[in-house]
Structure formats: structure tokens, C-alpha cells
Amino acid sequence: MVRDRAIDRFVKEVEQSPEVKAAGQRAKVYKLARDHSAEALRQAHAIQLPWYRCQALSFIVDARPNMAGAEAILLEAMDAAFAQQEPNRIASVAAWPLSVMVRRGIGSPAKHVQKLLAVIAAEPHGLRRLHGQAAILGSILNHRVLREMVLPAFVRTLSHSSGWRTERIAGAVAQSLVDLDRGAASTIVKAQPASRFNRGARLALGLE
């Protein structure tokens, strides 16, 4: 009985946590975004945690890219991303509005890429820096000019990070680049030891 009460108390604490509340608010925004954008925007603004508010605002514009004030909403989302304290978290969640800007042709994504690269460059931990750069890269992958802004920093960071998590990130990025930039994909693969994480990219590039 004591154990059951402890479990119930733990579950209640989780359900009442700010993160769970914010995730629930974000889910409501997702449901409303396409057909009730004004209410979705009101709900998004009510989300206190910046991480979830950034995602919710980005989703609204992605669902309604022609809505009035779309760029301003994405700039709000960027502001929410920069309310995070850690460089990796800023880059990871800022990838949401950045991706929408690129895919929907809204705003000036290049200046945001430059700003995010400067932010993530301040991350002293190699793996976290690589993760943040991979998030930025993933959000602009199909835009050649922006991709070429990010790739050099990503490749440089590979030399300051090691281990299976690094290999997994590098392998995923290389695989995503195979059909877009075989030279960059090859550079990334060759910078890492052969492993299960990059085997697909190595095969596609004829390196195995």
C-alpha cells in the first residue's frame, strides 16, 4: 500500500509538471492550427515554457503559411527559442521555425542560420555542439546555399567529438546528404570509422 501511494504521488506530480502541461497545450494547438488559427495562436501564446511555445507557433504557420502575420509569428517562435539557456537547446528548437521559413519561403532564413551558428559555436561540449549543428542542418537541408553555410562547422566539430552518439549523428547526416551532396556525404563518412551507423551511406557512396 505504501508503495502504491508513492507511485500514485509520483504519477500525480508528473501529470502536474510544467512540461506535461505545456505538451498538452501544444497538442491542442496542433489540432486547432489548420482550421482555427486565431484560437491556435491564442493557445500558443498561453504556453509558458519557451520550448513548447516555439514549436506550437512554428506549427501554426506551417499549417497556414499564407496567414496574415506569418513572418511575425515565426520571429516570435525564434524569440522563444532564444529564451532557452543552453546553446544546444536553442539550436535544437530554433530548427522548428527555421525549417518553416525555408520550406514555406518566409522571411530571411540566412540571417537566422548565421545567428544560430554563432550561438552553437559557444557550446564547449563537442557532442552537444555537433547535435545542435545537425539540428540546424536538418532544418535547411534542401537549401543548397544555407546547407553550405552550415556544413563546414559541422565537419570541423566532428574532429572534437567521438563515440557511438557522434557516429550515429554523423551517419544520419551523411545518409541524408547522399542524394543532395555526395561530396559532403563522403567527407563526413570518411571522417568517422566504419560502423553500423554509416554503413548505409558508405554503401550508397560505393565505399564498401
Q: pLDDT 10s per residue in the chain (208 long)?
A: 555 554 445 445 455 688 999 999 999 999 999 999 999 999 999 999 999 999 999 999 999 999 999 999 999 999 999 999 999 999 999 999 999 999 999 999 999 999 999 999 999 999 999 999 999 999 999 999 999 999 999 999 998 999 999 999 999 999 999 999 999 999 999 999 999 999 999 999 998 7
Residue with cell 562547422: 153
CB 64 within 8 A of CB 31: no
Q: What is the DSSP string of 144-197?
A: HHHHHHHHHHHHHHHTT--SHHHHHHHHHHHHHHTTT-HHHHHHHHHTS---TT
User: Can you give the pLDDT at residue 10?
Assistant: 43
Task: Tell me the pTM.
Answer: 0.89
Residue 17, pLDDT score: 84
Residue in this structure with the C-alpha cell 548565421, named with its chain if needed: 114
pLDDT at 15: 56
Amino acid at 138: G
Q: Which three cell numbers stand for residue 47?
A: 504556453
Q: Find out whether 111 and 98 touch, Cβ atoms under 8 Å.
A: no
Q: Smallest Cα–Cα separation from 79: which of 91, 67, 94?
A: 94
